[in-house]
Amino acid sequence: MSSGSKPYCAVAPRSLAEAVEIVRVASRERIPLRVRGAGHALNGSSLPAPGELVFETRRLASVRYERPGTVTSGAGVNLWILNDLVRQRGFSLPVINDGYAGPSVGGYLAAGGFGANSCSHGGFWENVAEVVLLTSVGVVRVTRDDAMFPWLFGAMGQLGVVLEVTLDVVSGEDNHDVRYPAGVCETDDAMYSAAANVSAPSAEDQRRLYWFTLFVNRGQLACAQGELSTLQAQHATVFEYCEPYCYLIRHRGRVVAPLVYPVAEDFYAIGRWGFHTDASPKGLQRLTAFDTDFMRLVARRGYRRYVQSELSSGPETYRQYFDPDVLARLEQHKRCTDPSSLFNRDWIFQT
């Protein structure tokens, strides 16, 4: 559905200092950057356009225990691997993705993020304490109290490169008295061991998995579920459909992420997902038609959707979906952190 420029150049810094130097040179030479974590989004957001340098975060993989109740992770660490590491210490991450070990920590933040435990702990945005953000004008530490903080979730890298994230951790059910490992840094051996414990898609499985998510409040829930059933019936042959999903996402009163769900209330993530096996032109047309009808449903009923991680993309999609004042406020933050439009050009804003 999407393709990037070939050939292209890529860099993968191992440290914050290397990352800063890359952005400094790119800014000086006016080289646009395409930030790539694990490439988990459906929409090709990390594929480079001609002339772009791919900035890979995969080697930003340190894991440290600095403040009780938190873990500090490099943006390139796989979220499930991080959760396995902290579980070995008697803790767990409050919110991770379902399915399999797909997104990196930085990518999950860039898209917003929610999961099965969001019914208790809220969205990912309510479980992050601090973000180290590399902007085109320098490094900033963004905490929950900062005005820009909620705009990082769902911004798809528009405001800079996430280098590190400090996340909340919670004690396991049987480990309430566990001792916090202050000052400990996880070793490479521990990382490899954790990687062996997480699941990933089979290399032999060539089917493509797609998902389409509505964000609705309690009053909209029943109607939205019925309309999704109708949509599935109208497009019955597009996917090998899996069981419908429904997540309650609790609002804990900490953070509202306006690019994900702009209202301070509990809401639900409901949707349809399945495997697409027909890569012929007609098969891809049917896939696109499903997405078009899905977006029409969103517009007609005033629902929200998980636009960051799904098939629709590009400035026109974002203009169609977001209220003008929301895009204007995001653009204000971008002018402060990325005045030269260095990061992920033409994804949300036209250059």
- List, in sequence order, every beta strand (DSSP E) within 283-341: 304-305
The residue from 195, 227, 243 where one domain ends is 195
Q: Are the C-beta atoms of 192 and 74 separated by less than 8 Å?
A: no
**Rounded to the nearest 5°, which phi and psi values hold at 184?**
-80, 140
Query: What is the model's pLDDT at position 261?
Result: 97
Amino acid 131 reads V
Q: Which of 146, 164, 195 is the last residue of a domain?
A: 195
Are both 13 and 74 inside the same structural domain?
Answer: no
Q: Could you tell me if 310 and 188 lie in one domain?
A: no
Classify each residue of 28-61 as buried b or exposed e, where b means 16 or more C-beta atoms within 10 Å of its C-beta.
eeeebbbbbbbebbbbebbbbeeebbbbbbbebb
If asked whether residues 124 and 228 sit together in one domain, one would say no
Give 202's DSSP letter: -
CA-nearest of 92, 126, 106 to 40 is 106
Q: What is the mean pLDDT of each run of 10 residues along the chain (351 residues)?
A: 88 96 96 94 90 96 96 97 95 92 94 96 98 96 97 96 98 77 93 82 73 97 98 97 97 97 98 93 95 95 93 90 96 96 94 86
Q: HSE, CB side, 13 Å, CA atoms: give it for residue 261.
A: 28
User: Contact, 43 vs 163, CB < 8 A?
Assistant: no
Question: Could you tell me if residue 333 is inside a domain?
Answer: no
- Please indicate, yes or no, whether residues 224 and 245 belong to a single structural domain of this protein: yes
d(CA 160, CA 337): 7
Distance, in Å, from the CA atom of 155 to the CA atom of 327, rounded to the nearest integer, reads 10
In angstroms, the CA 190 to CA 67 distance is: 20
Specify if 335 maps to a domain: no
Q: Are residues 98 and 179 in the same domain?
A: yes
Q: Is residue 318 a part of any domain in this protein?
A: yes
Instruction: Among 40, 58, 76, identify where a domain stops.
Output: 58
Whether residue 301 sits in one domain with residue 264: yes
Beta bridge partners of 276: 208
Burial 305-325 (b: 16+ CB within 10 A, else e): bbbbbbbbbeeebbeebbeee
189/230 same-domain check: no
Is residue 293 one of the residues assigned to a domain? yes
Q: Note down the domain range covering 42.
A: 9-58
For the chain, the domain total comes to 3
Q: Is residue 136 part of a domain?
A: yes
pLDDT in tens, 50-102: 999 999 999 999 999 999 999 999 999 999 999 999 999 999 999 999 988 88
Say what the pLDDT of residue 40 is: 85
Per-residue confidence (pLDDT) for residue 93, from 0 to 100? 97
pLDDT single digits (tens) 298-341: 999 999 999 998 988 889 999 999 999 999 999 999 999 999 99
35 beta partners: 55
Within this chain, do residues 20 and 134 fall inside the same structural domain, yes or no? no
- 97/176 same-domain check: yes
Is the bond preceding residue 50 a cis peptide, omega within 30 degrees?
no
| CATH number for 39 | 3.30.43.10
CATH number at residue 178: 3.30.465.10
Query: Under a CB-based contact definition with an 8 Å cutoff, are residues 268 and 218 in contact?
Result: yes
- CATH number, domain with residue 276: 3.30.70.2520
DSSP-derived secondary structure for 152-186: GTTSTTTT-EEEEEEEE-EE-TT-TTPPP-TT-B-
Residue 135 lies in a domain: yes
Q: Are residues 32 and 90 in the same domain?
A: no
pLDDT of residue 176: 67
Q: For tokens 């036209």, name the residue.
A: 350
Residues 190, 69 share a domain:
yes
Residue 337, domain member (yes or no) = no
Does 327 reside within a domain?
Answer: no
C-alpha distances out from residue 223 to 106, 142, 248, 292, Å? 34, 39, 16, 19
Residues 281 and 308 in one domain: yes
